[in-house]
Structure 1
């Protein structure tokens, strides 16, 4: 077989060009399992949502995506694995209705969704593995505080040591000044 050198995932040049989505699983101390649906804008690594519940079917995924889009617009592309919620007819129809390209990674190739996988690793280490949760509301509250810190207080090396919020603001202002000269 030919040797294949993996190349890094291309970084979008603007907000909403590409969002990555994925699910994670964990359990409360009582043993009850829950899921998280994570959404990241690949441009600035901003955590757009972490939805937490016992069950997150395709229609719930669509509601989360619509809620995000209400404040920032729809993405041009949504990158995901081949999970049942993502290959559903409902999501395909939603994507067509909103002109969102669905990009599915190859099975068994999580590196093709590297932005969300890196985010998931950080969330797993700092929240899901760090705390013992008694209730879903406890998971939600701790996660909400963490997302705020992740987006607004924590610099990312891949963003020139800016936070996702700073990177978004910096690039928004750069785009305005660039457009002023055209």
Structure 2
């Protein structure tokens, strides 16, 4: 079915009517025959990563994707992680055979829930690269819905996302390279187990040789002071 503008052309051309498009529009409106208007999508501004000095948890999170390979099934899997820049904890992650904007959007919601931030006015800045998941409309809508600021690093500057890059290097060296996965289920169990080990037991030199969760607990109890992180 044509819209009112093209229908006006047809009425003039095929029936010789002298009629303008405004009249056609009014008639269609009265008969409830107008086509639904296409919704204009909101354009979200691109925010470049700013230089920051991080002094507390939940000020800046970094998010990125790591690939793994399942030899037994000859296919790749994805690990999408969110890490807190100050305490280095992997707050939450998505692992699957696909990784789209909707998965990244869902990860924001779960990470905010994990850190119990929905009841707080202050929300973290989330820093990513320019991957398709992070420039998708569904991801940007989620950032706006959940009240977080999304900033993207310039192309070819992985140092701007150094903390998630460092974790993924550890994941590669200490987990992915040590196994030849026969199935997705095996890969899932081993990778999730490593992330749990990293958070709860792996000592971190910049965290007073504590694991991320140990550091965060000691910080909350006032037993230690956090060192500011410049990014």
Same fold per superposition (TM over 0.5): yes
Q: Which runs of 5+ in 2 are unaligned?
A: 1-50, 224-231
* Alpha-carbon distance, 1:50 to partner: 3.2
* Alpha-carbon distance, 1:165 to partner: 1.0
1:4-23 alpha-carbon deviations (Å, 9 max, x no partner): xxxxx856222211111111
* Alpha-carbon distance, 1:43 to partner: 1.3
Residue 150 and residue 64 in structure 1: after superposition, are their counterparts in 2 closer, same or farther (change >3 A)? same
User: Which residue of structure 2 lines up, in the alignment, with residue 114 of structure 1?
Assistant: 162
What SS does the aligned partner of 2:94 have?
Answer: strand
Q: Which runs of 5+ in 1 are unaligned?
A: 1-8, 176-182
Q: Which of 106, 112, 121 is residue 69 of structure 1 equivalent to? A: 112
Q: TM-score, normalised by structure 2?
A: 0.68
Contact 1:58–1:90 at 8 Å: present in 2 too?
yes
Q: TM-score, normalised by structure 1?
A: 0.85
* Count of residue correspondences: 167
C-alpha RMSD of matched pairs (Å)? 1.7
Structure number with larger C-alpha Rg: 2
Counterparts of 2:107 and 2:147, CA distance in 1: 17
Counterparts of 1:107 and 1:52, CA distance in 2: 25
User: Which residue of structure 2 lines up, in the alignment, with residue 60 of structure 1?
Assistant: 103
User: Which residue of structure 2 lines up, in the alignment, with residue 45 of structure 1?
Assistant: 88
Counterparts of 1:134 and 1:10, CA distance in 2: 43
List structure 1 segments (4+ residues) > 4 angstroms apart after TM superposition: none
* Alpha-carbon distance, 1:76 to partner: 1.4
1:53-79 alpha-carbon deviations (Å, 9 max, x no partner): 111111111112212222212641101
